[in-house]
Structure 1
Amino acid sequence: MAKKVVPVQKNEYYDVKIESLTHDGLGVARVDGFPIFVSNALVGEEINMKVTLVKKTYAFGRAVDYFVTSPERVEPACGIYKQCGGCQVQHLSYEGQLQMKHDTVVNQLKRIGHIEDANVLPTIGMKNPSRYRNKTQVPFGYANGEVVAGFYQKRSHEITNMKSCLIQTDISDQIVDTMRELCRDLNIDPYNESLNLGVLRHVIVRVGFKTGEIMVTLVTRTKTIPNIDTVIETLINKYPQIKSIAQNINPKVTNVIFGDETKILYGEPYIYDEMNGIRFAISPRSFYQVNPVQTETLYSKAVEFAGLTGNEVVFDAYCGIGTITLFLAQHAKEVYGVEIIPEAIEDAKMNAKLNGFDNAQFAVGKSEDVIPMWIENGIVPDVIVVDPPRKGCDKTLLDTMLEAKPKRIVYVSCDSSTLARDLKILIEGGYNLEVVQPVDMFPQTAHVETVVLMSRVSK
């Protein structure tokens, strides 16, 4: 059989028309049927593009010149947008972003889940789609002899020096800038990834949107930080909102941000924030949704889909520090949260106690192990809520849910491809897909969050 010839070559230029957008926000063009994924390109645009990478079945390129531009194209507000990898779709109008995310969910359900007629509602957006992140995590490094801090450039580990990020809080930008100055003035070496040398790897700033409280976590390769007393004094004098400064130690050669050891250098081990009238304690390593405004929207929609009357027993798999569990506890008879991370469960128990919930119970372990144990003890769920990581639900958990036969399953997803895969299994196991609601948790990026209601088919 003759080897198929790739019709494009690296560093060559081609005139193309953009047919669609990928779930990552890249434009899709074709040369002799061969797909090319093009950065900074929108549907309907006719462009000249340069091929930057060629694979066996696809290629990547970047737009060089525009012959026809999309009416949805806007000028990015960020001056380093083209270099920085933090956002992907700032060049697309916000209305266009919401439509793109709706289309992404529809396409993934069709392509991966083979679900053709899903009731996918319009994406719920934000009134102000900027400065929405309550958590900033910024890598530090050297470039041209200078201390730099910012996001990694697209498809690289080169840091784009950033003074202002339009999706993060202004106070977070200021604190990162102060740490950049302190590194320079106090001889605190930033991390050198290639040599595994230096001290400061990341600075993480968490802000309570309702309380204004701030936690700063310094992730270091070393156990000691030069002139740390001066660092602490400078930060708390300049930013009195800081209630906690922590150090996390990560000596490993890894892309994972956090190491195993965390210690409090100043203040309390927690800061507090509020959502939906519920107060949450947030520790340096707590999982707490980064967009609190849209989290209220997302979780309120999950509670609505759960159809709670006050008489239901609800299981919450992947419960984290109990955020969605306590939303549910406001409307259910009993809620049971399970999470594999012991520290998260300790935080969840504290949050339940902090808010006076006596109808919320929490357990450490894998959901597929803990849920059958609850059922064996006579605790039968009316509703199961899942909010898994990007890889979706474990197949064993899906089987466990089907065996539990709750009346309703509410699936909260941060990845529509794994959502589609899992929904296919649940549908085949006897559930109807009632409604799919995309929510824009991360404006200016290609990510979309989704909440889904499924009901058990009556036989």
Structure 2
Amino acid sequence: MAKQAPVKKNETVTIRFEDLTHEGNGVGKIEGYPLFVPYGLPGEEAIVKVVKVNKNFGFGKLLEVKNPSPERVEPPCDVFYKCGGCQIQHMSYNLQLSMKQQQVKNVMRKIAHLEHVPVHPTIGMEDPWRYRNKVAIPVGEKDGELITGFYQMRSHQIIEDMDTCIVQEDLNDRMVEAVRRIAGRVGIEAYDEKSHTGVLRHIMVRTGQETKETMVVIITRTKELPHAKEFIRELTETYPNVKSIIHNINPARTNVILGEKTKVLWGQEYIYDSIGSIRFAISAKSFYQVNPTQTKRLYEKALEYAAIGEEDTVIDAYCGIGTISLFLAQKAKKVYGVEVVPEAIEDARVNAKLNGMTNTEFEVGTAEEVMPRWKEEGLKPDVIVVDPPRKGCDEGLLNAMIEMGPKRIVYVSCNPSTLARDLRVLEDGGYETKEVQPVDMFPQSMHIESVVWLEKRLSN
């Protein structure tokens, strides 16, 4: 007979939090039965309402903290408990950094079975606010006025009293407010999700951190933007930092923000920004890191681990618009980049040209298909760098890397669990994990990036 949980749904209990989950929830136990509770911090005793009971664990709602942790802070965002975009503003920044380091350590032990590999303290930000250079925000209507705001947690209800987002660049905040105000004044109506009518779905703003150049992307259901001339004139006359106004058309009933078709309404197709000494052209659909300050630190660490010599050949798998490739090309003899998105490869070639780099070659395709062909053609990389999406590396790519046998692999990861899974495969394929460096790219959220250095084992 199955053992029954020691708590019931809707019961109120007193609990002491012992730990944190990888989602940032507090973990406490009742007679050995774990309860996961958002906003609970280790060491705190709290009164909790049980909201869900499963066989092996349950979920609770925090009602009252009896003895607050010294690491608990008052979230500076007015809508923190509604929004859900940031999950951990209630933690001190020191706790955020140590928790992220611990998260990486845990998966290295439990999934990769690498007990003794050093996981360094997380590289954090001096000022962990106002770091995001891109915002895409839904538009709605209330009492005949346009409103903008992120959706409330687990809903498609716009948070109406959201005047600012304190992890966004201040300029982005102000541009969203300006676009909403001008669009409303010239008579552009909001999209209605339920009836699939109306015009303006989202406002997207991208800002160059170094250049302060701004791109405004207007996402509509309709093929044309009503009152476009009036809108453009007022926006560009008032805000000289706007260098590009793009119209993206998304006629589908979908949660996906951008549609297939994009056209330049005014100004340039690209805005420009720099990370270190390298300049980047950024289009409406470019994947460009949202936190350039930390991106520079991440890439510097990747370069250090890659230890590239001037005669080395390097492959950058999942190269995107060439951000890492161009950093590597500063040191290498030749860099080959591969990426499945054709527009990203076009951007990568533009960026190589922009920086006068002739030692790069970019190809469209999946890394797991292109790399084995490169191997057959005789390409022998000294170093391979991978920066895969959250799902990690495809098995075919991991095998191709092992078969190509570079002396060094640098793995840049945005998901500790899939990183650890892939490291196990690479370890079994003859590579040794030397060091792991977590980097906090997204302060106030649970996301953590890591850079890992692997060396090929010498044959016995």
Q: TM-score of the superposition, structure 2-length normalised?
A: 0.96
The C-alpha deviation readout for 1:10-48, integer Å capped at 9, x for no partner, is 433221111211122111122333332211111111111
Whole-Å separation in 2 of the counterparts to 1:146 and 1:28: 43
**What are the superposed Cα offsets for residues 119-151 of structure 1, whole Å, 9 maximum, x if unpaired?**
100000111111111111112224676533222
* 1:344 paired to 2:376: no
Taking only the aligned residue pairs, the percentage that are identical comes to 53
Residue 244 and residue 453 in structure 1: after superposition, are their counterparts in 2 closer, same or farther (change >3 A)? same
Q: Post-superposition shift, 1:174?
A: 1.1
Equivalent position of 1:139 in the other structure? 138
Instruction: Within 5 Å, give how 1:266-345 maps onto structure 2.
Output: 266-345=266-345
- Greater alpha carbon shift after TM alignment, 326-335 vs 147-156: 147-156
Counterpart for residue 71 of structure 1? 70
Aligned counterpart, 1:228: 228
CA distance in 1, matches of 2:50, 2:183: 39
Q: Secondary structure at the match of 2:418?
A: helix
**In structure 2, what is the equivalent of residue 150 of structure 1?**
149
Q: Output the amino acid matched with 1:150.
A: G
Which amino acid in the other structure matches residue 13 of structure 2?
Y
- Count of matched residue pairs: 458
Output the CA distance in 2 between the equivalents of 1:228 and 1:33. 62
**Change in CA separation of 1:229 and 1:7 when aligned onto 2, cut-off 3 Å:** farther
Q: 1:339 to 1:181 in 2, by over 3 A?
A: same
Distance, in Å, in 2 between the alignment partners of 1:181 and 1:29 is: 47
C-alpha contact (below 8 Å) 2:183/2:231 kept by paired residues: no
Shift, 1:257, TM fit: 1.4
Amino acid at match of 2:39: N
| Amino acid paired to 1:110 | R
| Correspondence for 1:34 | 33
Q: Distance in 2 between matches of 1:13 and 1:100?
A: 28
Report the CA distance between 1:354 and its aligned residue.
0.9
Alpha-carbon distance change, 187 to 31 in structure 1, aligned in 2, over 3 angstroms = farther
Structure 2 contact 47–64 (Cα < 8 Å) conserved:
yes
Query: Greater CA deviation, 409-418 or 142-151?
Result: 142-151
Question: Which residue number in structure 1 is paired with residue 103 of structure 2?
Answer: 104
Q: 1:180: how far off?
A: 2.6
Whether the aligned pair in 1 keeps the contact of 2:101 and 2:121 (CA below 8 Å) is yes
Q: Within 2, Cα distance between the matches of 1:24 and 1:228? A: 43
Q: Does the residue aligned with 1:141 lie in a helix, a strand or coil?
A: strand
Which residue of the partner structure matches residue 175 of structure 1?
Answer: 175
For residue 164 of structure 1, report the CA deviation from its aligned partner.
1.1
Q: TM-score, normalised by structure 1?
A: 0.96
Does residue 419 in structure 1 map to residue 419 in structure 2? yes
| Residue number in structure 2 paired with 1:368 | 368
Q: Check conservation: 1:85, 1:151, Cα contact below 8 A.
A: no
Structure 1 SS opposite 2:81: coil
The residue type equivalent to 1:114 in the other structure is H
Task: Give RMSD over aligned pairs.
Answer: 1.6
Q: Which residue of the partner structure matches residue 79 of structure 2?
A: 80
SS of 2:34 mapped into structure 1: strand
Q: What's 1:94 paired with?
A: 93
Task: Please state whether the residue corresponding to 1:83 is helix, strand or coil.
Answer: helix
CA displacement, residues 191-233 of structure 1 (integer Å, 9 cap, x when unaligned) = 3333333322211111111111100111112212222222212
| Contact 2:298–2:439 (Cα < 8 Å) also in 1 | yes
The 1:226/1:50 distance shift into structure 2, 3 A limit, reads farther
Unaligned runs of 5+ in 2: none
Contact conserved, 1:276 with 1:327, CA < 8 A, in 2?
Answer: no
Q: In structure 2, how many angstroms separate the alpha carbons of the residues matched to 1:17 and 1:449?
A: 30
Query: Which one is further off, 45-54 or 325-334?
Result: 45-54
Residue identity matched to 1:243: K
Mapped pair 1:50 → 2:43: no
Deviates more, 1:19-28 or 1:288-297: 19-28
Is the partner of 1:25 in helix, strand or coil? coil
Distance in 1 (alpha carbons) for counterparts of 2:109 and 2:293: 30
- Higher mean displacement: 183-192 or 69-78: 183-192
Question: In structure 1, what is the Cα distance between the partners aligned to 2:193 and 2:53?
Answer: 28
CA gap of 1:245–1:57, structure 2 versus 1, over 3 A, is farther
Q: Is the 8 A contact 2:182 2:235 kept in 1?
A: no
* Whole-angstrom CA distance in 1 between matches of 2:115 and 2:71: 27
| Distance in structure 2 (CA, Å) of the matches to 1:192 and 1:31 | 46
**Residue in structure 2 matched with residue 5 of structure 1 by the alignment:** 4
Residues 183 and 190 in structure 1, CA contact (< 8 A), matched pair in contact too: no
C-alpha spacing 1:49/1:230, structure 2 compared with 1 (3 Å) = farther
CA distance in 1, matches of 2:377, 2:6: 63
Change (3 A) 1:13 1:188: farther
Amino acid at match of 1:320: G
1:443 and 2:416 aligned: no
**Which segments of 5 or more consecutive residues in structure 1 lack a partner in the other structure?**
none
- Find the counterpart in structure 2 of residue 16 from structure 1: 15
How far, CA to CA, are the matches of 1:49 and 1:145 in structure 2?
A: 41
Distance 1:399 1:265, change over 3 A: same
Cα distance in 2 between the residues matched to 1:158 and 1:57: 33
Greater Cα offset, 46-55 or 330-339: 46-55
- 1:117 is matched with which residue? 116
Distance 2:109 2:213 in 1: 44
Give the Cα–Cα distance (whole angstroms) in 2 for the partners of residues 389 and 401 of structure 1: 17
